[in-house]
Structure 1
Amino acid sequence: MKKIGIIKEGKIPIDRRVPLTPFQAKQVKETFDVEVLVQSSDIRCFSDDDYRNAGLEIVESVSDCDIILGVKEVPIEMLSENKTHFFFSHTIKKQDYNRELLRAILNKNINLIDWETLTNENGNRIIAFGRWAGIVGAYNGIWTYGKRYNLFNLKRAHECFDYEELKKELKKIDLPNIKIALTGGGRVTKGAMEVLLGADIRQVTPHAFITENFNEPVFTQLNSRDYNKRKDGAEFHRNEFYKNPELYEGDFLKYAKVTDILIACAFWDPAAPVLFRREDIVKDDFDIRVIADITCDIEGSIPSTKKPSTIDDPIYDYNPSDDEVEQALIDEGNITVMAVDNLPCELPRDASESFGSELVNNVLPHLLGTDENGIIERATITKAGTLTPAYNYLQDYVDGK
């Protein structure tokens, strides 16, 4: 009988999420006829007793399990040799800070499967926390605006027991007639829209957003075609934009002139146009004063995102005149930035339940079955001490080149 282990999260700052809730772990044990062991942890959003009460065994180590499930990067000293590890490794973009982690995974003959690389035949991800990043990010954006202008007092998202309590907080929001621009169209954006609509903020079209005035707060959702245009003036084509973004230039400033809060949810390719530049911010007609950058691409498409913020210290100010980060809320000429890079951690119970459901339904049948569609195979980064063919491009990264 195969053993599946749920590892204690070891990364600092701590992450309280889990890959499977107690109920889901019990469900996996019964449905797939496997043993599920849970490493003792004092930081999870579900306690050891919650798992015990669901009939799961609590252990001090999961190193003897065949498959080990986690959320964030596993510290090198917690990796188990010759086992299969699942976690967000943050290595596939050659992130410098995890080079040693990938080297250790190879040296320990670990099969690494990254949650981010699990996709269906069409290349769409089948498991993610994106919706919860959008929900918390949009909420934090409104919270930030309320703080900046002393409009209302909301609980922080992480102070809410769950999403239901956060929804109650939304009813306290009383915004003036501001305009909120939301970029993107995927899971993150849909999560953000849930919050805006839950706060009774009306959605309007991009055209109405820039041409009309409203006597209530409104938001608009912008897709790539709304804020990018062909350099030669030809028609926008989405597939072409993603394949050849260098043919396009940014066209976002028409929105920046009327936007009060920007909630950035769109994936950004470094080859694509940026949303705006520092030189644009210092112009008199640039109206954005609060940016909730859920994507958190440091010095990427949004120049004010100079660093990530944290759950404990979620906002900072960006001084565009000097291109510097400053203490939050000290100068009205600054832009206030919310760039927490682990947003789903603020609602760990709901985020874990949603993630676990996708794990049970979309991943485990292939992992513990025949994998006829190659879902596990495509997502496997390392196997038996080597990079798999699809991830050979990481070899120079491993080699330190």
Structure 2
Amino acid sequence: MTVKPALWLRHEVRSTERRTPITPADAQLLVADGFAVTVEESSQRVFPVEDYAAAGCRIVPAGAWVDAPEDAVVIGLKELPDAPAALRHRHVFFGHAYKGQPGAARLLRRFADGGGVLLDLEYLTDDSGRRLAAFGYWAGYIGAALAVLHHRGTLDTPLRPMTRQELDTLLAQESGPVSALVLGALGRCGRGAGDALVVAGIEPTRWDLEETRDLDRKALLRHDIIVNGVLTTVPVTPFLTPPDLDDPDRGTTVVCDVTCDVGSPCNVLPIYDSTTDWSHPARRLHDDPPLDIIAIDNLPSLLPEEASVAFSADLLPHLKTLGNDDSPWQRADRLFREACASST
């Protein structure tokens, strides 16, 4: 008999994180299926906590997960707070801890010290390695939109959450001719980026594996805007390097790196060393000719409702298999244990 674990939706500590991995509508479906769902209060979550209460969830204060029962599965999206130092629960979120990213070793050590487990959403995949739940489409859409608005000089800061209709209205405003390149155009992120550019009146150049495998760097640098949606798990030849910024023939003035794999040896755009944020979404990397980088690691939170609804729908059927021995979570569990072993 499959044991249904208690699910605990935590508050996100990052102030700009308004998404949720479980919507109230999907929480109601989980409750109806026999899951006990606890939801922490959160003033920033796009859905009010009252909607979860109406769905049959138990409501607790923000941060209460640290005292949750041992068998609770704590579910979130972004980073955990610094305390407690030792993590004893099973946690579901994007850990960014398996490719040597900054802070990865410390996070894995916290799990090892507490006996907990990281079930990383990035590695919840099918047999072919494709993610089963992802924000990629909306990350690409918003990343491309920000790149266009910044290139036009019409990007208002600090950034604020909005609806797709509001964003599309901004994109549809007329502007001069612009050339744009989408890297990883056939993936979720690339498709989202391409759709946003079309809304902006730009028919982008679309490159995927064939074009990036044998990169024409000169052709790449002729585009005004580059949106990168390529995320690799093994080191590859970078698409752009610091010397490319000095190329006098470079036409590119805005790069949006949707993947934000900064600090990892797998980073395909090692031209910057830190992400940007909602207050300062673009940072100047080179003055003559100018080039700005946009690298925000929670882009979909700018369209929190649309992104959450799509992600929650993807995740829901897999949450229902959390207690199964043959579920994709077992693969995520093995990867976690391998990462812990290799980091010691």
Fold shared, TM-score > 0.5 on shorter chain: yes
Q: After superposition, what is the alpha-carbon deviation per residue over 1:154-192, rounded to whole angstroms, capped at 9, x for unaligned?
A: 5669535322322222222x2312211111121110111
Is 1:4 equivalent to 2:7 in the alignment? yes
Is 1:334 equivalent to 2:337 in the alignment? no
Is 1:108 equivalent to 2:108 in the alignment? no
Is 1:175 equivalent to 2:142 in the alignment? no
TM-score, length of structure 1 as denominator length = 0.75
Give the deviation of 1:278 after TM superposition.
Answer: 3.2
- 2:301 aligns with 345
Is 1:48 equivalent to 2:49 in the alignment? yes
Give the deviation of 1:221 after TM superposition.
Answer: 0.4
1:157/1:166 contact within 8 Å kept: no
- 1:237 aligns with none
Aligned pairs for 1:36-185 within 5 A: 36-60=37-61, 61-62=64-65, 63-64=68-69, 66-77=72-83, 82-147=88-153, 153=154, 158-172=159-173, 174-184=174-184, 185=186
Query: Out of 247, 250, 258, which is 1:294 matched to?
Result: 258
Structure 2: 5+ residue stretches without partners: none
Q: Percentage identity across aligned positions?
A: 27
Q: For 2:276, what is the secondary structure of its paired residue? A: coil
Give the deviation of 1:317 after TM superposition.
Answer: 0.8
Q: For 2:103, what is the secondary structure of its paired residue? A: helix
Give the deviation of 1:122 after TM superposition.
Answer: 1.7
Query: Out of 214, 223, 234, which is 1:259 matched to?
Result: 223
1:94/1:394 contact within 8 Å kept: no
1:297/1:305 contact within 8 Å kept: no
What amino acid sits opposite 1:178 in the alignment?
A: V
1:228/1:251 contact within 8 Å kept: no
Q: For 1:85, what is the secondary structure of its paired residue? A: strand
Sort the Cα spacing of 1:17 and 1:366 in 2 relative to 1 into closer, same or farther, 3 A.
same
Sort the Cα spacing of 1:2 and 1:365 in 2 relative to 1 into closer, same or farther, 3 A.
closer
Is 1:357 equivalent to 2:313 in the alignment? yes
Query: Out of 291, 310, 315, which is 2:277 matched to?
Result: 310
Aligned pairs for 1:359-398 within 5 A: 359-361=315-317, 363-368=318-323, 370-372=324-326, 374-381=327-334, 388=337, 391=338, 393-397=339-343
Q: After superposition, what is the alpha-carbon deviation per residue over 1:14-47, rounded to whole angstroms, capped at 9, x for unaligned?
A: 42221111111111111x2111111122221222
Sort the Cα spacing of 1:157 and 1:17 in 2 relative to 1 into closer, same or farther, 3 A.
farther
- 1:17 aligns with 19
Q: After superposition, what is the alpha-carbon deviation per residue over 1:206-228, rounded to whole angstroms, capped at 9, x for unaligned?
A: xxxxxxxxxxxxx1101132243
RMSD of aligned residue pairs (Cα, Å): 2.5
**Residues matched between the structures, number:** 332
2:320, 2:107 → 1: CA distance? Answer: 28
1:317, 1:122 → 2: CA distance? Answer: 38
Give the deviation of 1:379 after TM superposition.
Answer: 0.7
Larger radius of gyration: 1
2:122/2:131 contact within 8 Å kept: yes
Structure 1: 5+ residue stretches without partners: 148-152, 203-218, 230-249, 320-330
